[in-house]
Structure 1
Amino acid sequence: MNGDERKDVVQKFAAVFSLMALIVVFSVTSDAFFSVGNAMTVSLQTTSIALLGIGVTVVILTGGIDLSVGSVLALSGTVAGLLVKDGWPIWAAMSMGVLTGMVCGCINGFVVTRLRLAPFIATLGMMLIARGLALQLTGAAPVSQLGEAFGVLGNGSLFRTLSVGANGLPKVIFPGIPYPVLIMIVMAIIVAFILRRLAIGRHIYAVGSNEQASRLAGVNVNSTKMFAYATSGFLAGICGIVLMSRLVTAQPNEGIMYELDAIAAAVIGGTSLMGGVGTISGTMIGAFVISILRNGLNMNGVSSFIQQIIIGCVIIGAVYIDHLRNRR
């Protein structure tokens, strides 16, 4: 095990320990924390953070950053909603929404690799452009009346079991596994496989560790970065259609500040902001840390303003730990 892998394992164990500590604390402070309903709530809250976090992790591994995922999420969902409203089949409209996200990611990659702008500036510009497009296309108003079928992806579940109660009304025996959770798991497995088993994954780690050495070794650095940003945009598009499907409404103002949660999940899970170190499993743990922290604080009546302060402190702490381990 090399130094980077050892640091990653240590950080991941720290994230797991933090996750377990949060679960213990909130299970003591709230009787409803361990209920099936709350478990479903936490899982659904985690999906958005995790899907965006997975994409952001791939970008950070190359030594970049993606600040646009929250706005790209909104634009992708808005495009899907408008196309459904225009009479498109739902599957086609959602596919176009995902494609919109991927195009935004490709534009980010082009600006970073060809125009040589810093990733921070390039994705900051895309954040403003995508949000502005979403607001312009909708007139800053939600796109509603999309039909029940539009909400199946976000609100449906696998293995949902019902029975007829004594009053003749349906009774839920098992709520099932929500489709968004299944999508999150599938995407995490696919991206983790790409990073660990395919050549492009090894190139992503190599570019983040030492871009100049990777170029001298024959790695196509520009193509690798393009793939990373396209992946981030693609996952932001998926997150957008899933989230809008849950709401059964396309909201152009959705996803504000989500990029910070995504970056925080990656860093808490052991992804180094310097690039070259991190795993998808660690990001998943980080996403659950954030969602469980929010959920537990809500159940204990902590105000949203205090929650922001606490989560901000957690992010600063995680980045400081990353800074310490890189300095060592």
Structure 2
Amino acid sequence: MMKSAEQKQTGLSDKQKDIIQKFAALGSLVVLIVVFALTSPAFFTLNNGMTIALQVTSIALLGIGATCVIITGGIDLSVGSVLALGGVVAALCVKELGMPVPLGMVLGILTGTVCGLINGIAVTKFKLPPFIATLGMMLIARGVALEITGARAVSGLGESFGELGNGALFRMVTIGDDGFPTVTFPGIPYPVILMIVIALAVGYMLYRSVLGRHIYAVGSNADAARLSGVNVSKVVNFTYILSGTLAGLTGCVLMSRLVTAQPNEGVSYELDAIASAVIGGTSLIGGVGTISGTLIGSFVIGILRNGLNMNGVSAFTQQIIIGVVILGTVWIDQLRNRR
């Protein structure tokens, strides 16, 4: 009765608000595509589309993890550093220890999982504020990545290490009359396929499973969820573990694309992840958020960067513009929550 009275007062249900927010983000995405297509002839091409999709995968994978954490009312500032640590661990396992590439990357992903678990324990067992706990992990993971590599890039990893980041499904290559290969269709990059599969899996978990309902319940009201029999600590731990695991995976994909492991990679990626979630409608106070909205938010950031690059906007100005976008979306989120 109380909920229906609130809905009558505002005129919109929570579901309707989510749909409006998602379509607002989608509308912004369409506007950006139209503007950049008109200002740059090379923007609306297949090759540039693939470039954007590849650039977006890192933001989207981190954003998916960030969405789950934020829905519970938390925040994860460590994903950029965990990304770097996971990537360099995978590279060192392959180069220094002679491990097969798949095994090295599994260990890199598990490194992210361990970092996420430590974050979860710090928040649930030691009762540290998520901001402080993950800020500490951000510094620790970056420091470890720099220490184990001597602050130098890990190179000479071989072509097999770059297969995950640079390979593509359905790539078509023909041999011309001159005997040289010509790419007739670039194919669907493996990172894009990975992004879609993970988005579908996590989306299904959030919307169709008991665990997903518990995640939303914890974010809406942790005390009420606890009284209803939800193990709040386990749910919160799971979201941080998922975020850390996806950060480790993103690190492996990114280092594979570069075929070089950079311990300084991933700086400020946590801001992109949080921004993609908020642009897509995830509320910073918890309890509200969708994976589809986060994907839209990721493409908004990716297309904004790509279009600004094509129009010759400097990297410094891009930072200002994206910063304004982040501030604007958070402000809109706060206004929505007050209403």
Structure-1-length-normalised TM-score: 0.99
Cα distance in structure 1, aligned partners of 2:311 and 2:162: 30
Equivalent positions of 1:192-271 (< 5 A) are 192-271=203-282
Q: Confirm or deny: 8 A CA contact 1:195 1:201 kept in the other structure.
A: yes
Matched, 1:36 2:46: yes
Q: CA deviation at 1:137?
A: 0.3
Aligned twin of 2:317: 306
Whole-Å separation in 2 of the counterparts to 1:208 and 1:72: 24
Give CA-to-partner distance per residue, 1:33-65, whole Å, 9 cap, x none: 111110011000000000000000000000000
Alpha-carbon distance, 1:116 to partner: 0.1
The ranges of structure 1 where at least 4 consecutive aligned residues each deviate by more than 4 angstroms after the TM superposition are: none
Does residue 135 of structure 2 align to residue 121 of structure 1? no
Task: Tell me which amino acid in the other structure corresponds to 1:271.
Answer: T
Query: Corresponding residue for 1:169?
Result: 180
User: Following the alignment from structure 1 to structure 2, what is the Cα–Cα distance between the partners of residues 64 and 92?
Assistant: 32
Match of residue 299 from structure 2: 288
Q: Which residue of 2 aligns with 1:53?
A: 63
Of 20, 28, 31, the match for 1:18:
28
Q: Which residue of 2 aligns with 1:105?
A: 116
Q: Work out the CA distance in 1 between the residues paired with 2:207 and 2:178.
A: 53
Q: Does 1:72 align with 2:52?
A: no
Partner AA of 1:110 in structure 2: I
One-letter code aligned to 2:275: A
Q: Secondary structure of 2:77's match?
A: coil
Gaps of 5+ in 2: 1-6
Shift of 1:218: 0.7
Following TM superposition, by how much is the alpha carbon of 1:6 offset from its aligned partner in structure 2, in angstroms? 1.9
How many equivalent pairs are there?
A: 328
In 1: Cα distance, 2:115 partner to 2:72 partner: 18
**C-alpha contact 1:74 1:240 (8 A) present in aligned 2:** yes
Q: Equivalent residue of 1:78, what SS?
A: helix
Question: In the alignment, is the contact (CA less than 8 A) between 1:102 and 1:231 conserved in 2?
Answer: yes
Residue 152 of structure 1 pairs with residue 163 of structure 2: yes
RMSD between superposed Cα atoms in Å: 0.9
- The percentage of counterpart residues that share the same residue type is 68
Give the match's secondary structure for 1:190: helix
Deviation at 1:166, TM superposition (A): 2.5
How far does the alpha carbon of each residue in 1:249-292 deviate from its partner, in whole angstroms, 9 at most, with x for none?
Answer: 11100000000000000000000000000100000000000000
Q: Which TM-score applies when normalising by structure 2?
A: 0.96
Q: Distance in 2 between matches of 1:165 and 1:270?
A: 49
Q: Once the 2 structures are TM-superposed, how far is the Cα of residue 4 of structure 1 from its aligned partner?
A: 2.3
Work out whether residues 5 and 277 of structure 1, in 8 Å CA contact, stay in contact via their aligned partners in 2.
no
Deviation at 1:322, TM superposition (A): 0.4
Give distance in 2, aligned partners of 1:271 and 1:232: 15
Cα separation, 2, equivalents of 1:244 and 1:99: 16
Q: Confirm or deny that 1:5 pairs with 2:7.
A: no
Q: CA deviation at 1:3?
A: 2.8
Aligned partner of 1:254: which letter?
A: E
Whole-angstrom distance in 2 between the partners of 1:95 and 1:36 = 32
3-state SS of the aligned residue for 1:173? Answer: strand
Please list the CA deviations of residues 212-245 of structure 1 after superposition, one character each: whole Å capped at 9, or x if unmatched.
1111111100000000000000100110100000
Distance 2:136 2:183 in 1: 46
Distance 1:268 1:5 in 2: 17
